[in-house]
Structure 1
Amino acid sequence: MADWNSSLKGFKAYLRLERSVSENTVEAYLRDVNRLFEYTETIGGKNPVAVDIADLKNFIVWVNELGMLATTQARVLSGIKAFYKYLVLENLIQKDPASLLESPRLTRKLPDTLSIPEINELIAAIDHSKPEGMRNKAMLEVLYGCGLRVSELINLKISNLYLDVEFIKVTGKGDKERLVPIGSEAVKFLLIYLNEIRVHSIIKPGKEDYVFLNRRGMPMSRVMVFIIIKALAEKIGLKKTISPHTFRHSFATHLIEGGADLRAVQEMLGHESITTTEIYTHLDRDYLKDTIIQFHPRS
């Protein structure tokens, strides 16, 4: 009979070896299953094999009463479903009790998108009198020019830059690698940063291959990138709520509005499913109407 400890250890190994998901996802899923374990302690300490559909439904109610957002609840449910699929695969249970669970309804709030003039204004607001100014300019040019996730940006390696042919190799979710085109503007400022600023940095041993470094010679953190972008938004009086992800979202939207093929954008963003790309490339009604009028044979 499987207990929580051994099941969690096995689940962790399964996620890493067989599902090849990122460490962030592994940790998130383990937290989700630990929440279920905490709940079972309140109902007499059932082991994972003994948990049934009624227990899981009551668990969802319990999670809801904790005040979690619907998006967080959906993520928790995703972790629980993955856990029970693992138990079925290992023949620890015959029937998956989580298969009939429904996710909470999500109201999809589209994030703010920056217009091209707003992106230009943000980048122009960077103070070049400081060494980190050119680093920040190169960083934002790459973030927007390549549509990267913030984790992909801070983990970008010099050995994965192919600037002579205007490509970079990026490691995305689940450690999946992809080649992404990089535009001439991003290349220009990246080379200035690498050749004129970064060469004067004292770099911590083992971190020599990271492109973007902080003052201590260490790779940039996610939080620092957020802070830099928030400060620039305040500087120009931008009222929109933005983050590094806003640049990725804007990248996709501007490409689609410019006529780029959805599947090409999917490749550049590193999405497994085209439906994920469709979420990112929300288009306003006027643009959709104009597209139909322009291209539909009956229009």
Structure 2
Amino acid sequence: MWDAYIKGFKAYLMLERGMSDNTVEAYLHDVAMLRDHMQDEHKEISLQQMELAHLQSFLQSIHELELAASTQSRILSGVKSFFRYMALEEILRKDPTQLLEAPKQKRALPHVLSIADIDKLFEAIDHSTPEGTRNRAMLETMYSCGLRVSELITLKLTNLYLDVGFIKVLGKGDKERLVPIGEEAINQIQIYREHIRSHVSIKRGQEDVLFLNRRGAGMSRIMVFYIIKDLAAKAGLSGEIHPHTLRHSFATHLVEGGADLRAVQEMMGHKSITTTEIYTHLDRSYLRNTLEKFHPRYK
């Protein structure tokens, strides 16, 4: 019986919710974990008979696997979506997940580079090579616009409005947003397009992609990761530095400079303001460090 319901759930996620293949697979994996738990621990209980206690038992079992709280929350999200679908289809009379609470998560503050460290990172780029010119344009764009790496590598020529200082970005859930872009990033993109990209033999279907590898295809996420990791090592920067570090640094520097949180939310493409609010915590840390450094009573 489970398999038939899971099959219907898959169709619902793909056709009605329009979710990506990766998200659908993750949700199906979550429900499969619940199915396996029920068949092992509560075999006599049908799906229609499931209650809050059975789901709490499932949560306890994944907690015992010592999974991160964020992973447990993601699994719970998939399971809740499944039961919402079951209630929507009137397969169940009530949704037993309504009172189910997610494990509490510690919200870690992201690693952020100072403005001086950003400069060091850019100075480590070898501008004498075609790849160096491209990498400078990529990093300037990421930092200027606060892009996710997925947004950077899918950035299209037809979505550049450099004459008015904006780019159109395809974010999470295929949601588009307009983001302002700084003069230095515009300058580096134009140098890259004119002197490097124009000499690349472009693969079919990649003609509209802005940033290309030497074979004329779009950049991969892992390649951008390696580029930044290599530059960070050359610049002598400590800590775990990856593409998202530039995005975090973008938001933090805006908040430190007094930017409106709603404006930062819009530029970052955050669905909820609470996601953006993490940067106010970073800002408080910055303010305290400033106080400790410059106030005579803290010295």
* TM-score for both structures, normalised by structure 2: 0.89
1:36 to 7, 31, 34: 34
Classify 1:224/1:47 alpha carbon distance in 2 versus 1 (closer, same or farther; 3 Å).
Answer: farther
In structure 2, what is the equivalent of residue 229 of structure 1?
Answer: 228
- Contact persistence 1:113–1:246 (CA under 8 A): yes
Aligned to 1:275: 274
Partner of 2:170: 171
- 1:193-223 per-position Cα deviation (integer Å, ceiling 9, x unaligned): 1121111112221111111112222211111
Give, in whole Å, the separation in 2 of the partners of 1:50 and 1:172: 40
Matched letter for residue 227 of structure 1: Y
Q: Equivalent residue for 2:75? A: 76
Alignment deviations for residues 160-205 of structure 1 (CA, whole Å, 9 cap, x no partner): 1111111111111111111011111111111111121111112221
Hey, what's the Cα distance between the residues in 2 that align with 1:193 and 1:4?
A: 54
Question: Which residue number in structure 1 is paired with residue 196 of structure 2?
Answer: 197
Q: 1:139 to 1:286 in 2, by over 3 A?
A: closer
Partner of 1:287: 287
Could you tell me how far apart the structure 2 residues matched to 1:205 and 1:217 are?
Answer: 9
Give the structure 2 partner of residue 7 of structure 1: 5
Residue 93 of structure 2 corresponds to which residue in structure 1?
94
Moved more, 127-136 or 141-150: 127-136
CA contact (8 A) 2:148 2:244 kept: yes
For residues 286 and 246 of structure 2, the distance between their equivalents in structure 1, rounded to whole angstroms, comes to: 22
| Residues 63-84 of structure 1 deviation map (CA, whole Å, 9 limit, x = unaligned) | 1222211111111111111111
Q: How high is the TM-score relative to the length of structure 1?
A: 0.89
What does 1:178-193 correspond to in 2, within 5 Å?
178-193=177-192
Residue by residue over 1:241-261, the C-alpha shift from the partner in whole angstroms, topping out at 9 and shown as x without a partner, is: 122111111111111111111
Whether 1:25 aligns to 2:23 is yes
3-state SS in 2 of match to 1:204 = coil
Q: Which shifted more, 249-258 or 279-288?
A: 279-288
2:104 alignment partner AA: R
> Percent of aligned pairs with the same residue?
59
Q: Equivalent residue for 1:54?
A: 53
- Return 5+ residue gaps in structure 2 as ranges: 291-299
Structure 1 residue 281: deviation in Å?
A: 4.0
Tell me how far 1:22 sits from its aligned partner: 4.1
How far 1:11 sits from its partner (Å)?
Answer: 2.4
Q: List aligned pairs for 1:109-258, cutoff 5 A.
A: 109-258=108-257
Shift of 1:42: 2.1
CA contact (8 A) 1:150 1:244 kept: yes
Q: Distance in 1 between matches of 2:20 and 2:278?
A: 22
List gaps (5 residues or longer) in structure 1: 291-299
How far does residue 48 in structure 1 lie from its aligned partner after superposition? Answer: 4.1
Report the CA distance shift for 1:190/1:9 in structure 2 as closer, same or farther (over 3 A).
farther
* Whole-angstrom CA distance in 2 between matches of 1:215 and 1:126: 17
Q: Provide the aligned C-alpha RMSD in A.
A: 2.2
Distance 2:62 2:184 in 1: 47
How far off is 1:23 after superposition? 4.1
**Cα pair 1:162 1:168 within 8 Å, conserved:** yes
Determine the C-alpha separation between the residues in 2 that align with 1:139 and 1:281.
27
Report the equivalent of 2:293. Answer: none
Contact 1:53–1:98, Cα closer than 8 Å, also in 2? yes
Distance 2:15 2:119 in 1: 43
Superimposed CA distance per residue, residues 52-96 of structure 1 (whole angstroms, 9 cap, x where no aligned partner): 322211211221222211111111111111111111111111111
Shift of 1:280: 3.7
**Could you tell me how far apart the structure 2 residues matched to 1:45 and 1:234 are?**
57
Q: Which amino acid aligns with 1:182?
A: I
Query: Deviation per CA, 1:225-266, whole angstroms, max 9, x where unpaired?
Result: 111111111112211212211111111111111111111111
Question: Distance between the aligned counterparts of 1:137 and 1:286, measured in 2?
Answer: 27
Work out whether residues 125 and 135 of structure 2, in 8 Å CA contact, stay in contact via their aligned partners in 1.
Answer: yes
Decide whether the 8 Å contact of 2:255 with 2:279 is kept in 1. Answer: no
Count of matched residue pairs: 289
